[in-house]
Chains A and B, each alone.
Chain A
Amino acid sequence: MFYWPAMDLFIWGLTGLYLATLSNNSKELIFVILNGLVFWIIIWRAQYEINVNILSEMWDKNLVNVVASPLTIWEWITSLIIVGFIKMIISLSFSAIIAFIFYQYNIFMFGLQLLPITIGLLLFGWSAGFIVAGFIVRYGIKIQTAAWTGVALIAPFSALYYPLSILPNWAQKIALVLPPSHIFEGMRDVLFKGYFPAEKLFIGFALNIPYLLLSLWFFVFMFNKSKKIGLGRLI
Chain B
Amino acid sequence: MAEIVLKVKNLTKKFGEFTAVDDISFFLKEGEVLGLLGPNGAGKTTTIQMLLGVMESTSGDIVYFGKQFKKHREEILQLVNFSSTYISLPWHFTVLEILNIFAMLYQIPDKNKRIEKLLREFELDHMVKKQFFMLSEGEKTRLLLTKSFLNYPKILLLDEPTASLDPEIAVKIRNFLKKEKREYNVSMLFTSHNMAEVEEMCDRVIIIQKGKVTIEDTPENLTKQISTCKLELKIIKDNKRVLAFFEEKEIPFRSDRHNFTIVLDERNIADFLMLLASEKIDYEEISINKPDLEDVFLDIIRREKNDEPS
Contacts and interface: CB of A to CB of B under 8 A. Distances in A.
Interface string A63-74: 011111111100
Nearest to B53: A68
B179 to A, nearest CB: 24
Given A69-B102, A70-B105, A229 B86 contact: no
A173 interface: no
A156 interface: no
Interface stretch (B44-52, B210-218, B260-268, B288-296): B44-52
B55 A230 contact: yes
Interface string A38-81: 00000000000000000010011110111111111000000000
B105 A64 contact: no
Interface stretch (B88-96, B229-237, B238-246): B88-96
Contact of B106 (A59, A67, A69, A230): A69
B87 A62 contact: yes
Contacts of B82: 68
Interface residues of A, number: 22
Contacts of B15: 229
A204 to B, nearest CB: 36
A67 B49 CA distance: 11
Contacts of B54: 64, 67-68, 227, 230-232
B105 A62 contact: no
Interface string B50-78: 00111110000000000000000111011
A68 B77 contact: yes
A154 B70 CA distance: 39
Contacts of B84: 64
Contact of A227 (B55, B86, B102): B55
A62 B102 contact: no
A193 interface: no
B77 A228 contact: no
A56 B92 CA distance: 10
A60 B90 contact: yes
B70 to A, nearest CB: 11
Contact of A60 (B46, B55, B88): B88
Q: Is the interface of A mostly helix, strand, loop or mixed?
A: helix
Contacts of A235: 86-88
Nearest to B78: A70
A227 B56 contact: yes
Given A62-B88, A62-B90, A231-B55, A70 B106 contact: yes
Nearest to A68: B52
B13 to A, nearest CB: 9
A227 B53 CA distance: 8
B74 A70 contact: yes
Interface in A99-133: none
B147 interface: yes
B6 to A, nearest CB: 15
Contact of B77 (A60, A64, A70, A229): A70
29 contacts: A60-B88, A61-B87, A61-B88, A62-B88, A64-B84, A64-B87, A65-B89, A65-B102, A66-B105, A67-B52, A67-B54, A68-B52, A68-B54, A69-B77, A69-B102, A69-B106, A70-B74, A70-B75, A70-B105, A70-B106, A227-B54, A227-B56, A228-B55, A230-B46, A232-B45, A232-B49, A232-B54, A235-B86, A235-B87
Given A59-B91, A68-B52, 19 more contacts: A60-B91, A61-B86, A61-B88, A62-B87, A64-B52, A65-B147, A67-B54, A68-B77, A69-B102, A69-B105, A69-B106, A70-B73, A70-B74, A70-B77, A70-B78, A230-B46, A232-B45, A232-B86, A235-B88
Interface of B: 15, 45-46, 49, 52-56, 73-75, 77-78, 82, 84, 86-91, 102, 105-107, 147
Interface of A: 56, 59-62, 64-72, 224, 227-232, 235
Q: Which 3 residue pairs across A and B have the least CB separation, nearest first?
A: A61-B88, A230-B55, A68-B52
